[in-house]
Copies of this chain bind each other. A is one copy, B any other.
Amino acid sequence: MTWENLPGHVYIQEVVTRDGLQIEPRFLPTQDKVALIDALSQTGVAKIEVTSFVSPKAVPNLADARDVAKLIKRRPGVTYVALVPNLRGAQEALTANMDELNLVMSVSETHNRANMRMTPEQSLEGFRTIVESARGTPATLNGSIATAFGCPFEGKQPEAKVLKLAEDYLSLGLDSITLADTTGMANPRQVADLVSAFRRRFGSVPLTLHFHNTRGMGLANVVSALSVGADRFDASLGGIGGCPFAPGATGNISTEDLVHMLDEMGIPTGVDLAGLLALARSLPALLGHDIPGQVAKAGRSGDLHPAPADIHLAAK
């Protein structure tokens, strides 16, 4: 690996209370969500995707979006984001003074129809109306390209199609782009290729990588992206946020496992790993189940163990 393009700082973007909780079997009470977000605000993460202003019928777990946005303590320096599926959601997010709105559609038409219930044209038209309604507000707009590394219905998406959609986003006036591996189909070679192609075409437009660890390649994809200069990653505390098509599969890459790896590699994130680990270890009690994150169980690489007591005898 040539590390010549390695970023000097990596931005950690926490999505646990949005992507993580979305398909949890239990509703996490509003005060627990607020406490979790407030605690995450203290760890040094750059962004927190707080919630989604989506129909409570579509995502019952996030039905308290307005209350959560109102009750959290805003820490200066942290960007508070809401996912918005449409104009109505965007207006609610703006009313709630979110710092950033995250607009999303899938590059796969089948997935967009199934997930957003819109054609690609309808989605882009929706984006246009959101851009208009956000004009003059301080909110920034990020555009997420779901299924950028593959669609569970259509399979791999051509690189040119993904880049064309990113271009459409930027033409509409969005500020930054997320390439999302919605169901964990990305592989490290594809990641390096797509991130490099994005950089060649769009220069320094801020780019986030959103990986799931569905098939065990989450951190491998991060390493591959880092090696071509990517420096913003979404991750979910504990690695929660499974895939509806893969019961038992893990979810988003785990924030604490990501920060641990970057720490070990000597890449600064500004995030307090001990604080993150304490929060990750509180999740099983909150959620009622084990978490996929590994470092919360294994401890950090640097956490040494006492040598066995009988070692001197044995060495005789």
Contact = CB atoms under 8 A, between A and B. Distances in A.
5 smallest beta-carbon distances between A and B, as pairs: A187-B264, A246-B298, A249-B298, A216-B294, A1-B192
A224 B227 CA distance: 10
A77 interface: no
A278 interface: no
A84 to B, nearest CB: 19
B110 A214 contact: no
**A interface residue count range (under 10 / 10 to 19 / 20 to 34 / 35 or more):** 35 or more
A113 B294 contact: no
Copies in the complex: 2
A300 B214 CA distance: 10
Interface stretch (A12-20, A127-135, A306-314): A306-314
A215 B259 CA distance: 11
Nearest to A295: B215
Contact of A294 (B215, B247, B257): B215
Contacts of A295: 215-216
16 contacts: A1-B189, A1-B192, A1-B228, A2-B2, A110-B311, A114-B308, A155-B302, A187-B265, A190-B265, A215-B294, A215-B298, A216-B257, A220-B222, A248-B297, A248-B298, A249-B294
A214 B114 contact: no
A117 B219 contact: no
